[in-house]
Each structure stands twice: as C-alpha cells, then as structure tokens.
Structure 1
Amino acid sequence: MALTGALLLTSAPMASADAVRDAQWPLTIYDAEKVWKTSQGAGVTVAVVDSGVDANQPDLTGQVLAGKDFTGGGDPHNDTDGHGTGMASLIAGHGHGANGSAGVMGLAPKAKILPVKAPASAGTETWAAGVRYAVDQGASVINLSFGDSSAYPGSAGAEAIKYAQKHDVVVVAATGNDSGTVSYPAALPGVVAVSAVDKDLKYWSSSNKGNVTVAAPGVQTAQADPTTRSGYAVADGTSGSAAYVSAIVALLRSKYPDLTAGQIINRLIKSASFLNNEGKKAPDSELGYGIARPGSALTMNIPAGPKDGPLAQASPPTSTTSGSASKGNDGTNPVKNEKKSSSGSIFLIAGIAAVVVVIAIVFAVIRSRRNRGSGGPGSGGGVPPQGTGYPPQYPSGHQPYPNAASNQGYPAPAGQQPQYPNPYTQQPPRQGQ
C-alpha cells in the first residue's frame, strides 16, 4: 500500500509540562475560556483512528474509553508512536496539576476519546475496519489524521467512510503535508478536509491544497507525546489541524444534539472566516471556506439547512442491489417480470394507436384537398422545419459540477470523484473569532 503524506507530523520535544500551556496559542486565538462557557463537548465520543491513545497520560486520565487494537497487539492504549495520543490531547485533554494549569488542554475537554489502534501503515483494510467499529461503538465524530493513497472511491476505506456518513457521523481528515493536492481519505466526498494555518492565521505552505473544507491551527502546536522524556512535543502538520476541527465538531454535537452530521458541517462552514487573509474567496484552494471558529460556530444564528449538509456526497453504487430485497420470491427480477406481463397490453395499445393515426391522416388529406379544390400538391413538404425537435435532441449525460471553477487548477488525484463543496447562498462573515 502506498501512503500519501505518510509523515503527517513533525515534532520536537518540549522541556516541561508547565511550558506547554503557554505554548498552546490556538486556545488563545480561539478564546477557549469563553468557548467553554457554551460547550465543552460533554456527552460526545470522538474516535481517534491512529496509533493508539495512552490512557495513563496525565492530561487524558478518565477521558479515554476501552477502544480496540486492530493491529493484532491487543492494547489500544499502548501508543509507541505517540501520534494518536497527541491528537487525543488536542481534542480532549484536561491538563493536570493545580486547577489543571499544567499540560495540554484540548478544545473539547469533556469529550470522550475512543482509541482505535489502526494507523494507515497497517493498511487500508485495517483502518477501514476501525472506522466501522467506531461507528458501531457510538462515536459521532471520527478523526483521521493520516493520508492513505489507497483510500480512493470504491476502496475499503472509502466504503467505511460512507458507512460512517450513513450513520450520521462527521468524518474529519487531514489534507496532508507535502504541498500537493488533498490526499485520501480527506479527498473523499463528504469528508471535512482540514488544512493548516500558523500563529498569524496564514496558510502553512506545506499543507496540501485543492478541495479543502476549512483550515485550523497546525503549526507549532503543543501536544502530548508519550515517546519523549517530558511527555510533550511541539509539532507542525495538518494532523493537528484535523484534531482541532474534530474538537470543534464535538463542541457543536454537544450543544446541538438534534442536528444531523451534515447540519453540523453546515455550521462549521458558515461560521468560518478569512480573518487576516484578505482577498480570499470561498471556496479557496488553500483555506477552503475559511478558518474554523468554535465560538462563532456555537453561537451564530445559522439556519440548520438540509439534512445532508453542504458538502458533496458520495455517489450511490452503480451495481444493482444484492440480496433478497432485489428479487422476487422465485429468485427472478420483479422488474423483468413486470415487463413480460405487460407486453401484450403494450402491443394492443400500440395497434389501436396506429389505426387512430392512419384515420387521422386520411381525414386530414381529404380535408386539405377539399380546402384547395383541385389544386396540386401542397407546399408543406414532408421534411419538418428546423427547430421543431427532429431529430430528437437528447440531453447530455455530463452535467457540470457546482462551483467547478473553484478547483483553482489543482487536479484531483487519479480515480477521485472531485468534491466541490457547494454551501448555500448565505455567505459566512469575515470578521471576529
């Protein structure tokens, strides 16, 4: 299996837990203390499909559920890579020490983390099984901070994501870090594809472009890392950006439990902003519909919108439905049977219609001759004039995608159905947090 953006995280260890909180600039940008007065993600389960999550990490104690290891090791809490624990800390860390003043605070500190140990390196089939497991365990948000070029439409990974979307789960994925086009699975229809911005809210140049949904902090983000001596690291990558957006989705799902996954995504998109990025027009190839803003997403007056939400949806299967529901009791196709049983009636009706047409023609000819007296042939001719519909003009089977011009010249990866997000006519605001 080939991987796209296999290394979605570059990190450096931090000196101490006390220095971590000061380094968490995204919490300052987002005015997290104010956000938490509205929602902290309580009652929401976020599945982190990754390298596992260390449940003993001080900032995550009590937040990590049992989960499952799909790699054969048997322990989803054994994270020898550190990546999964880092993502979990950005989502649901609660800090530690006096008043939780040390360590990592996640943006949704009361959300629960479902660890699904199934990194992209284990293969598409493996993490796809992990996605399905997360859905069946009740996760309403799934974080995929990795790239897998084998997760193209029709693959096991794509089908697992469709399964999640069918069960009203929001799937969030990192766009990738190789300055290329948005990688799979972020490139799949309906997935919230997240690029990265830095402390100045400017686009991170290594972040992948194309059909981006929103952007979020992903440069110099402080997070837990059980593989370092201090237990923490500062990292660059769209992995962290995706984790922050997963946290925002958790905040929204907690406050608006009656909204569908698509309607949650609608709030996420409609509240995004191009703050500090003048001249951008949505959808932008780098920032999508803007930088995700939790405070605005939680409090803005945004119509719920259609249940499916604004993102393009996956195409239905082209093959016929299998199983007993598609066949009659005798195993035959009921549609074919219907055609056979109605064929006699069709021929009878056609015969009657032909007789009526002949009579009408004869009547018209006789009447025409009477009107002209003994005149010669009429001047009408037998060839219909241009523009009368002959020969029949069949509509083209290729309809343009909405916002087709928004691809900004970045080609979709091979085999990809282009995903052109097409939110409603309401334009998101461009100021504030």
Structure 2
Amino acid sequence: MGFKRAWSATGVVALTGALLLTSAPTASADYIRDRQWVIDVINFEKVWAESQGEGVTVAVVDSGVDGSHPDLTGQVLKGKDVTGSGDAQMDTDGHGTGMASLIAGHGHGANNAAGVMGLAPKVKILPVKAAVADDYDDDQWAKGIRYAVDQGADVINLSFTDPLASPGSEGAKAIEYAQQHDVVVVAGTGNDGIEHLPYPAKLPGVVAVGAVDESLKIWENSNYGRGVTVVAPGVKIVGADPSRSNKYAEADGTSDATAYVSATAALVRAKYPDLTAGQVINRLIKSATFLDREVKEVPDEEYGYGLIRPYSALTMDIPKGPKQGPLAQAAPSTSTTSGAASDGNSTSQAKKKKSSSGNIFFVAGIAAVVVVVGIAIAVIRSRRNGGSGGPGSGGGTPPAGTGYPPQPSGYQQYAQTPPSHGYPTPPEQDPQYPNPYAPQPPHQGQ
C-alpha cells in the first residue's frame, strides 16, 4: 500500500437534487451542468473552436473508468486491470471515472446539455485500473504506465500520490520509460496543504499540478514547494461517479486539477501533432498566467509557472523550443524534485551519492575551479546581456529583478499578458457571495 488519491477525502459529496436545488440557478437546464463553474471560467466553447482533442488518447491510471456512464459512452477504450482483480471498466470507487469525465466527458441528453462536460470531449480514454479500494503499490501503477505507453497513449494522467515511491523505484523507471516514448505525464501535488511534493509529481519531467479555488487563488490544501509546474481548478468540481446513486459527485483536490491539465495537454497534442511531449509542456508553461498575483520568483512555490490557459496554449505564438522541453532537463541537484526549467541533465539520486572517503584537498581544488569557471561564465553572460534580442526573437535574458530562470536557447519568455486574456479578472472574495461566479448565466451545453 502507500497509494493516496489526490482527491480530498473530506471534500467528496454526492450530488443529489435536494442538495443542488437550494443553490442552482432557477434558469438551469441541468443542475449537474450548472455546478461546473470551470466551463464558464475557462470558456470551453471558445477552446473547442481550436481543438477538442480528436485523435488523442489519454491514459487514466486510477481505479478504473466506467465506460457505460452516460457522459462517457463511446469515449472509453477497453484498457487493462493491472491488479488482476477484474475489468478496467469496473470502477466501484468512482475516482477514475471522475477524472475521465473531466477530461473527455461529452454530457448527454438533448444537445448534450445534461451531465458532465470535459475539457477535451473528443479524446479517447484508456482506462488502466491500478487500485482496488486505494490498495496498490508502486509496482502496480508502474505496470499501468508501461501498458499505457505500449498502447500508444499520448498523455498519462496520474491523479494520486505514493509516499512509498522513490527515485529508483519501478514507478520512477516507468515514468522515465513514458518520457522516452514521447508521452506527457501529469500528476497531482497532493492535498495536505504542506510544503512537500510527493511522488510521482516530484519526479523529473512530470507536470506537477496544484489546485486553485473558484476565485482562482491557490487552494488552501494544495501542496506546494519547489517543483510545482502549473495550477488548475480543483475546488467544488463536479464529476461522474458510478459509486453514487445518481452517478455524480462534487469534490476538492489536486486530482481534478491534474485532469484539467491532462485535458489541456491533449488539446495541444491534437492541434499540434508534430510537437514532442516536451514541446507540449513548453506551451502549457509559456501560456500560463499569474493573473494579478504578485510573484517574486518563477517558478513560484505555490503557482509554479501559473494558471493554465487552454485557449492561449492553443493559440499563442510560442516557439517549439528544444525537443526535450523545459522540465526534462532537471539539474542533478533537482533530479528528485521534478521541477523548474533547468539547463542541467537529469541524474538519479542514486548516481549522485558518492563515497565520503577521499582527498579533501582534491575536493577543495575542484571547488576552486568551479568558482573560477562560475566567475568566467558570469562575465560572459554579462557581456551577452548587453545586447537586446529584439521583438519576436524568443531569446534573450529576462530583465533584472523578474525572477525568471535563464532559458535554453530558442525559448520564448513567459507571456506578460493582461489578466483578462483567457480568464476573467478574479473578483475579490466576498463573504456574502462564496461563489464569485454564481451570477454568471448558466452554461447551455454545446
């Protein structure tokens, strides 16, 4: 054991008519649809004009996915149960089906106006059942990842944390296998509200996702720290849940945020099939926004590189950048923290450990050489910084004081677009109106 869902256990509630009729707008076409505040905030309709994820497969490594749910019919492939307990489409827990619905739900009924609508409704879901009642280990989800890769998954969604995993574990090796086969791997940062990134989000090259609430501020229970990549909505999220009597539930958690980022990656892969997984991640990062947040250093320990903007990720003029992308180049000192864009090469923790015996003068000599080389590099960079990259160059060094890390050659600087680009300016939280988006007209479906 050791697996932990990135859904907040205390934040999952069944959605019944009695619960929702007290809060849903009277103009509601469907009370489940009206609870999906993310639809209006991200503006799904505008995003779908650019991409709906057609031709892309997202593997959901989780508790299984119920392909018979009315909001997922026709979207779920056969998949595999790596636990050996049964069918990948048997989901008695409901978590995996919920994640799949946020990614590829298409609703149901007239004009698909009822039920859950996912961000990438034409994506195919590959269900990989790697847990039975939260009971599975590193070996199981590692097998699930390898299976997903071999089946041609373009994106792998990991909405869980595993405190027993490690850099040299089977899970870490499986993620490396996925990255070697050009797969985008996305994982949640966890729901403990502490400065700690767990595995698998902590591993190099993984898109580590935190959660924001309805005001688009960091959720109080979202784990934070060095290595957060981006954030996405993760509070009061309605998803499909076959374990509930009416097949739906509302939950809080970085699980849900992870699903939205996986869906965004799928949308980008569908529109730009020539991009590598690393270049897809580059678009996610370069199109993200901090809105009006004051961030001193990027990546920020709470927001990472910012809040995802699916429409901007699809439409912004962003150079491809290196094939490996900005996350796969984790420096040796950060190889176990996922992370920030870096110029170094990925090295496992085991390889970094050396015997403490040796000549201390030899070590001191190396340190002196490093200092001299560092000074030389600083001088060279200082000279290079004297010139401007010019408009549209995509290169150059950020102005002093911005806190942005130096980017590899060919990388565009992070967009400093107005807060209204892609998201409405988040209103101040008013205690009389806990949901700032409640006054918005209800979504009427496709």
Same fold (TM over 0.5): yes
Structure 1 position 298 matched with structure 2 position 298? no
Structure 1 position 2 matched with structure 2 position 2? yes
Deviation of residue 72 (structure 1)? 1.3
Deviation of residue 393 (structure 1)? 7.9
**Please, which runs of 5 or more residues in structure 1 have no aligned partner?**
321-390, 401-419
Structure 1 counterpart of 2:256: 240
* Match of residue 323, structure 2, among 307, 329, 353: 307
Q: What SS class does the counterpart of residue 160 from structure 2 fall into?
A: coil
Structure 1 counterpart of 2:129: 117
Question: Which residues of 2 match residues 299-378 of structure 1 at below 5 A?
Answer: 299-311=315-327, 312-313=329-330, 315-316=346-347
Contact 2:6 2:253 in 1 (8 A): no
Per the normalisation by structure 2, the TM-score is 0.73
Give per-residue Cα distances to partners, 1:258-293, cap 9 Å, x unaligned: 000000000000000011424454211001000000
Ranges of 4+ aligned residues in structure 1 off by more than 6 Å: 317-320, 391-394
Structure 2 counterpart of 1:71: 83
* Match of residue 177, structure 2, among 158, 163, 166: 163
Structure 1 position 428 matched with structure 2 position 428? no
CA distance in 1, matches of 2:244, 2:236: 16
Contact 1:53 1:77 in 2 (8 A): yes
Cα pair distance change 1:426/1:14, threshold 3 Å? same
Structure 2 counterpart of 1:395: 369
Structure 2 counterpart of 1:99: 111
Contact 1:14 1:233 in 2 (8 A): yes
Contact 2:6 2:255 in 1 (8 A): no
Cα pair distance change 1:280/1:216, threshold 3 Å? farther
Name the aligned partner's letter for residue 277 of structure 2. A
Structure 1 position 284 matched with structure 2 position 300? yes
Structure 2 counterpart of 1:191: 206
CA distance in 1, matches of 2:412, 2:47: 27
Per the normalisation by structure 1, the TM-score is 0.75
Cα pair distance change 1:62/1:422, threshold 3 Å? farther
CA distance in 1, matches of 2:135, 2:296: 36
Number of aligned pairs?
343
CA distance in 2, matches of 1:222, 1:282: 31
Contact 1:8 1:145 in 2 (8 A): no
CA distance in 2, matches of 1:395, 1:318: 24
Identity of aligned residues (%): 61
Give per-residue Cα distances to partners, 1:12-71, cap 9 Å, x unaligned: 111259211111111111111010010000000000000000010000000000000011
Cα pair distance change 1:18/1:92, threshold 3 Å? same
Structure 1 counterpart of 2:444: none
* Match of residue 41, structure 2, among 29, 40, 53: 29
Structure 1 position 131 matched with structure 2 position 148? no
Larger-Rg structure: 1
Q: What SS class does the counterpart of residue 395 from structure 1 fall into?
A: helix
Cα pair distance change 1:393/1:34, threshold 3 Å? closer
The alignment's C-alpha RMSD in Å is 2.4
